[in-house]
Chain A
């Protein structure tokens, strides 16, 4: 072990991740080398005093300007998301309403018609609701859970076939 190797290994020596036999080698070198003892002490001290370096503080004027910016942007961002959500919700409702209208008026494609009839007969969530539609009753509102379920139903239809004639 010489001074150069010691300097190279100092980080591990100090953070305790060093293997025992290496540590012993280093210890015995340090014991007989003044320069390395001093190097070790000053390296370690550098680490300690540098912890006291403070990050720059934000000037008051910057802080308030940044705060206004952040608050305004957060609001803007959220309004954007809300708008998108509303659009998505309206779109879903429109699709489900169209599906139900096509169902009442017998305009479903033949394969969808087969799927939908099975769904009507088996589904616990919307079976009853759909059977009422069969009698030609136009619902005043579509309950949210049924809308959600029918939207999922629509999404699960493979692409490539128009589900109903408009």
Chain B
């Protein structure tokens, strides 16, 4: 079995079913980073993410024979991962998250912006390479409740299409779009306030 052939999802799965140790290694190398990262973004705790990652691999071994190749392997695995994480969250007390409503735009009765909106897009471009900004954004995304965070991570961080995200999460495409929109509105507002504070401080 050449390593190259294992790049083909169906071959990889076929070899896994046969119990090939090489296929196990390939699967691990290809997916463990993404699985852990995704689990971290949902669970926000390293040991929970580790346990979730273990669950994911076990599920993949147990269900390898059910993978039909209708969807891409990574989206099948992401789905398993999201499910494993949500199962874990269910058993826990809800983490405190900031209320998204407080960060939605506010309008006057006739639908105009209540306060003037400032344009900080150029300013933030200059700060792009700033490590501080990266940390701040990460903190803001962590404040999103998982309902929005999972959609945001899959679509805007992982760059999946709305259709793929919908498939992974078992949501409709309009539901994905609407959650994503609210997550972005939240982050936009958080960034605005952060940059504004920076100016007044």
Q: Tell me the A residues contacting B by CB distance below 8 Å.
A: 2-5, 7, 10-12, 15, 34-39, 41-47, 49-59, 62-63, 65-67, 69-71, 73-75, 77-78, 81-82
Residue B7, interface by CB 8 Å: no
Given the known inter-chain contacts A10-B181, A36-B117, please indicate yes or no for A3 contacting B112, CB distance below 8 A: yes
Choice from B113, B158, B180 contacting A36 with Cβ under 8 Å: B113
A39 pairs with B156, CB closer than 8 A: no
Residue B6, interface by CB 8 Å: no
Given the known inter-chain contacts A46-B191, A62-B46, A66-B54, please indicate yes or no for A41 contacting B121, CB distance below 8 A: yes
Stretch of B66-74, B88-96, B132-140 that contacts chain A: B132-140
Choice from A37, A42, A47, A66 contacting B50 with Cβ under 8 Å: A66
Q: Tell me the B residues contacting A by CB distance below 8 Å.
A: 16, 19, 21, 24-25, 28, 32-34, 36-38, 40-41, 46, 49-50, 53-54, 57-58, 61-62, 105, 107, 110-113, 116-121, 124-125, 128, 133-134, 137-138, 141, 152-153, 156-159, 162, 177, 180-181, 184-185, 187-188, 191-192
Q: How far is the CB of B22 from the nearest CB of chain A, in Å?
A: 11
Most buried by A among B34, B107, B119: B119
The residue of chain A having its C-beta at the shortest distance from the C-beta of B113 within the complex is: A35
How far, in angstroms, from A43 to B156 measured CA to CA in the complex? 13
Choice from A34, A45, A56, A74 contacting B37 with Cβ under 8 Å: A56
Interchain residue pairs with CB less than 8 A apart (24): A2-B107, A3-B107, A3-B111, A11-B180, A34-B116, A41-B121, A42-B191, A45-B125, A49-B128, A50-B141, A50-B152, A55-B38, A56-B49, A57-B36, A58-B37, A62-B46, A65-B50, A66-B53, A70-B24, A70-B32, A73-B61, A74-B16, A74-B57, A77-B58
A82 pairs with B19, CB closer than 8 A: yes
Given the known inter-chain contacts A43-B185, A49-B124, A53-B157, please indicate yes or no for A74 contacting B119, CB distance below 8 A: no
Specify which chain A residues have a CB less than 8 angstroms from the CB of B46 in the assembled complex: 59, 62
Specify which chain B residues have a CB less than 8 angstroms from the CB of A77 in the assembled complex: 19, 58, 61-62
B113 pairs with A3, CB closer than 8 A: yes
B19 pairs with A74, CB closer than 8 A: yes
Choice from A4, A45, A58 contacting B36 with Cβ under 8 Å: A58
Most buried by B among A34, A37, A74: A74
How far, in angstroms, from A62 to B134 measured CA to CA in the complex? 24
How far, in angstroms, from A50 to B50 measured CA to CA in the complex? 25
Q: How far is the CB of B144 from the nearest CB of chain A, in Å?
A: 11
B117 pairs with A35, CB closer than 8 A: yes
A11 pairs with B113, CB closer than 8 A: no
Q: How far is the CB of A38 from the nearest CB of chain B, in Å?
A: 4
- Apart from A39-B188, A45-B125, list 20 A-B contacts with CB within 8 A: A2-B111, A35-B117, A38-B119, A39-B117, A42-B192, A43-B188, A45-B121, A50-B141, A50-B157, A51-B159, A52-B128, A52-B134, A54-B134, A55-B157, A56-B36, A58-B37, A62-B50, A69-B54, A70-B24, A74-B16
